[in-house]
């Protein structure tokens, strides 16, 4: 079974631009969660989508948004990029979401200059 | 302060030695997860603990959950260089499946 894939793996953007990251979950998994990982704040929960609906949201500004498609693939968008948005963005998929193991993708490393 | 505190922050051990990593929550735990991460890569699921007193093992790694103390420990027996990486504990402390993670423990195993 193919694992969670994320594209692109690396990205360099300029302040003020916007970016879209993509995540393809494991086949059959309906839950996709997004996390931001930085050296200072560690791993922080952004949001979770289940069957195309946002089910949970972390404490991030509205510049961070996401969506999930009918095939469970998910995208995350960050608008008006700030230097502090530089991070490793990880997505994780699970069968049902909620309590249960999550399978993480390799991440997208975003650098904002 | 962090809701999930991990200790130690880093650890260097000689191959073959045993080691323990602790994860302590300031809130009630509704589920505790252990993951391993290679630098700059995704997390690999190790174990999930849900009930107080629960103990699980996978190869040479054992994790226990002390619900009363709101604490979990991860023990590696006879460490090997392949155990090197960052160990993260994650938990649901609100009962709403919003997971939080500890700051991680960076483990280095010297051959």
Does the pLDDT of residue B1 top 60, yes or no?
no
| pLDDT at residue number B73 | 96
What's the rounded Cα separation, in Å, for the pair B91 and A34? 15
The first and second tokens of residue A30, run together, are 């309906």
Contact B19, B79 (CB under 8 A): yes
Of A4, A88, A98, the CB nearest to B97: A98
Does the pLDDT of residue B99 top 90, yes or no?
no
Task: Give the tens place of pLDDT for each residue, B7-24.
Answer: 999 999 999 999 999 999
| pLDDT at residue number B30 | 78
Contact A18, A71 (CB under 8 A): no
Residues in chain B: 111
The first and second tokens of residue A108, run together, are 């997208």
| pLDDT at residue number B92 | 82
Residue A8 distance to chain B (closest CA, Å): 13
| pLDDT at residue number B94 | 75
Of B33, B40, B44, the CB nearest to A88: B40
How many Å separate Cα A35 from the centre of its chain?
6
- Residues of chain B in contact with residue A58, where contact means CB-CB under 8 angstroms, are 98
pLDDT per residue rounded down to tens, chain A (113 residues): 689 999 999 999 999 999 999 999 999 999 999 999 998 888 999 999 999 999 889 899 999 999 999 999 999 999 999 999 999 999 999 987 766 688 999 999 999 99
Asked if A104 and B44 come within 8 Å (Cβ–Cβ), the reply is yes
Contact A35, A89 (CB under 8 A): yes
Which residues lie closer than 8 Å to A73 by C-beta, 6 or more apart?
A: A22, A23, A24, A25, A32
- Residues of chain B in contact with residue A42, where contact means CB-CB under 8 angstroms, are 2, 101-104
| pLDDT at residue number B68 | 83
What's the rounded Cα separation, in Å, for the pair B97 and A16? 32
| pLDDT at residue number A98 | 66
Residue recorded with tokens 């735990």: B29
Averaged pLDDT for residues B91-104 = 82
| pLDDT at residue number B93 | 77
Determine the straight-line distance between the first and last CA of chain B, rounded to whole angstroms.
35
Task: Give the tens place of pLDDT for each residue, B27-74.
Answer: 888 788 999 998 878 899 999 998 778 899 988 999 999 888 889 999
What's the rounded Cα separation, in Å, for the pair B87 and B43? 9
């Amino acid at each position: 079974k193919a694992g969670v894939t994320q594209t692109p793996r690396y990205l360099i953007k300029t302040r003020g631009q916007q970016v879209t990251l993509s995540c393809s979950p494991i086949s059959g998994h309906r839950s996709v969660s997004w996390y931001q990982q930085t050296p200072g704040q560690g791993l922080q929960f952004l949001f979770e989508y289940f069957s195309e609906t946002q089910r949970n949201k972390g404490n991030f500004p509205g510049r961070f948004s996401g969506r999930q498609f009918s095939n469970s693939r998910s995208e995350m968008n960050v608008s008006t990029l700030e230097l502090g948005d530089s991070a490793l963005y990880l997505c994780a998929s699970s069968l049902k979401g909620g309590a249960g193991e999550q399978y993480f993708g390799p991440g997208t490393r975003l650098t904002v200059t | 302060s962090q809701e999930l505190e991990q200790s130690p922050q880093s650890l260097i051990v000689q191959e073959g030695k045993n080691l323990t990593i602790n994860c302590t929550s300031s809130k009630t735990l509704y589920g505790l997860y252990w993951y391993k991460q290679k630098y700059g890569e995704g997390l690999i699921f190790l174990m999930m603990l849900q009930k107080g007193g629960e103990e699980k093992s996978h190869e040479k790694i054992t994790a226990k959950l002390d619900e009363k103390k709101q604490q979990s420990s991860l023990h590696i027996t006879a460490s090997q260089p392949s155990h090197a990486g960052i160990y993260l504990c994650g938990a649901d402390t609100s009962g709403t499946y919003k997971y939080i993670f500890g700051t991680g423990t960076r483990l280095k195993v010297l051959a």
